[in-house]
Amino acid sequence: MISNTDMYQALVNKDASFEGIFFAAVKTTGIFCRPTCTARKPKVENVEFYVTAKDAMLNGYRPCKVCNP
């Protein structure tokens, strides 16, 4: 299992090796993104991580219009 710290670093670094492993959901905007999204990165305290896009949607998040997860 990957730690939240490692996932956040992958998100900030737009690390393509994490593509398909997790989705990052932003509490303040209500969206979720792929790890390689080019949108501005949120503060760590505003991020939740999900294994699937379906999990993120079931928790009330919508897909990002920039990266189209």
Q: Could you write out the DSSP letters of every residue in 16-62?
A: GGGTTT-EEEETTTTEEE-TT--SPPPPGGGEEEESSHHHHHHTT-E
Query: Is 37 marked active-site?
Result: no
Of these residues, 33, 37, 64, 67, which one is catalytic? 33
**Which residues does the annotation mark as catalytic?**
33
